[in-house]
Structures are given as C-alpha cells and as structure tokens.
Amino acid sequence: MNKLLAALMSTLIAGAAFAQTAVPATPAVPAKPAVVKAEAKAEKSVADAVKSEAKVDAKADAKVSKAEAAAAKKKAKAMSKAADTKAKADAKVAKAAPEDKAAATAKADKTDAKADLKAGKTVIKADTKVGTVRVKAAGDKAAASAETAGVKAEAKADVKAAGSK
C-alpha cells in the first residue's frame, strides 16, 4: 500500500511540475494573403455602410426638423388669424347698439367658433404632416440600419470563406 501511495504522490508531483513548465512558443502561422485581402475589403465595406447609414440618419433628422419648424409656423399663423377674427367680432359687438347687442353677440360667438374650427383643422393638418414625416424618417433609418447589418454579415461571411480556401 505504501508503494501505491508513493507512486500516486510522485505522479501527482511530476504532473504538477510538468504543467508548470513553459511550453515552447509555436511559430505564428502567417495569415493567408486571401484572408488579409478579404479582411481589408470587409473593413472598407463596413465603414462605407456605417458612413452611409449616418448620412441617411442625418438627412432624416433634418427633414423632421424642417417639418416641425414649418408646422410650428403654420400653427402660429392659424392661431394669430383666429385671434384677429375674434377681436374684430368682439369690436363689432362693442360698437353695436344696445337693442342689437344680443344679435351681435350671437353672431360674434358663431364667428369665434368658426375661427376656432379653422385654426384647429390647420393645427391637426400640420401635426399630421409632421407625424408622416417622422414615420418616413424612421423607416429610412431602419432601412439604412438593416442595410448596414447586411453588409456586416456579408463581410463576415466573405472573410470566413477566404479563410477556408
């Protein structure tokens, strides 16, 4: 039993010593020229795709900003026009004779309602247009992102294929 124990101990110690010895460095296998060429081509195509995606994103953001500015301008103009119309109607009520005040007030209320309706429609149209531009911009961005992902996947496959040749 002592001999078996001694043999196990010596094997364990020898194994540990062997595991700690430095492994001779294996010379690095130079990459195949086809792989290097494929990697360079892949990096270039991915960089171009990322650049193109950034360009599309910037253009889409600019379109949205332009649409928002135009909508804000239209909304302000509509609200200003409605306020002017209401002010004119109120001025007519103030000038009306006491016996005509009730009719003038009713007419002014009707004019106010029409002005509010027209301004409201203008605001809704402007907001709808901005929403449409935002959706289209988001679609353009998503398409550009998908294109970039496709180029990356294709580049990865090309490099892998070059390595297996």
User: Is 20 part of a structural domain of the chain?
Assistant: no
Among 24-28, 64-68, 136-140, which stretch is predicted with the lowest mean pLDDT? 24-28
Specify whether the CB–CB gap between 82 and 123 falls below 8 A: no
Among 36-45, 54-63, 123-132, 136-145, which stretch is predicted with the lowest mean pLDDT? 36-45
| pLDDT tens digits, 65-75 | 999 999 999 99
* pLDDT for res 9: 65
Cα–Cα distance between 12 and 50 in angstroms, integer?
56
Looking at every residue in the chain, the average pLDDT score rounds to: 86
Domain around 148 = 34-163
Specify whether the CB–CB gap between 89 and 112 falls below 8 A: yes
Q: pLDDT at residue 11 above 60?
A: yes
Cα–Cα distance between 2 and 12 in angstroms, integer?
15
User: Is 17 part of a structural domain of the chain?
Assistant: no
- Token couple for 91: 């001025």
The most distant pair of C-alpha atoms in the chain lies apart, rounded to whole Å, by 130
User: Is 153 part of a structural domain of the chain?
Assistant: yes
Residue 161 CA, chain-centre distance (Å), reads: 33
User: Is 134 part of a structural domain of the chain?
Assistant: yes
Cα–Cα distance between 150 and 108 in angstroms, integer?
63
Helix 101-163, helix 33-95: angle, nearest 10: 180
User: Is 3 part of a structural domain of the chain?
Assistant: no
User: Is 52 part of a structural domain of the chain?
Assistant: yes
Detail the DSSP E strand segments found in the chain. none
| pLDDT tens digits, 97-119 | 989 889 999 999 999 999 999 99
* Mean pLDDT (whole number) for 6-23: 61
How many residues are there in the chain? 165
* pLDDT for res 162: 80
User: Is 107 part of a structural domain of the chain?
Assistant: yes
Q: What total number of domains does the chain contain? A: 1
Among 53-57, 72-76, 153-157, which stretch is predicted with the lowest mean pLDDT? 153-157
User: Is 28 part of a structural domain of the chain?
Assistant: no
